[in-house]
Structure 1
Amino acid sequence: MARVPGPPPLEGLRRRIERHRRGKPAGEGHFVRETFCLERQAAREKAREWFDLWPKAAYWTEVESWRMLEGDRIEFTMRRLPSAD
């Protein structure tokens, strides 16, 4: 007699949902991220401020993503490690 497969096990999905609810989704890592929406010159200054405060070599600081908006505004996300240990 052939066995009819039942629904797939949901334990893996439950674990992923629980991790997400705790605020650390899988794949997010340990980076600190902050998103800004500023005029072009202010955006450059904010990015430079991050690189000055948290040097790339120690904190892996980078502009993770960016896009241009209407009115010469830039929306961008900065990313860095929380510490240089």
Structure 2
Amino acid sequence: MSRQRSMEAIMASEYVTIGELVRLTETRYSTLKFYTEEGFIPFVQEGSNLTRRYPREKTVERIAYIKGLRDQKKTIPQIKEILQEKYKNL
């Protein structure tokens, strides 16, 4: 098992892992995995080991936005629709 990167290294990095997103956003791993599978948060898949990397700044912002929608009691289908509309040109 590899050693965790420091928060300083994570904050300086353009891309992060899902585990690092857990630390950055204080969101459960299973929630982030669900958001990934639903297409809520974008990722790139690097190399033959199929490691998913998330663009740190954009993903942290998007997770905060999703959390805000959840605080407003939006359902998952509503969030999906809102995100598709908001990010349709990206």
Please give the TM-score of this superposition, normalised by the length of structure 1. Answer: 0.27
Larger Rg: 1
Instruction: Give the number of the structure whose residues are more often helix, by fraction.
Output: 2
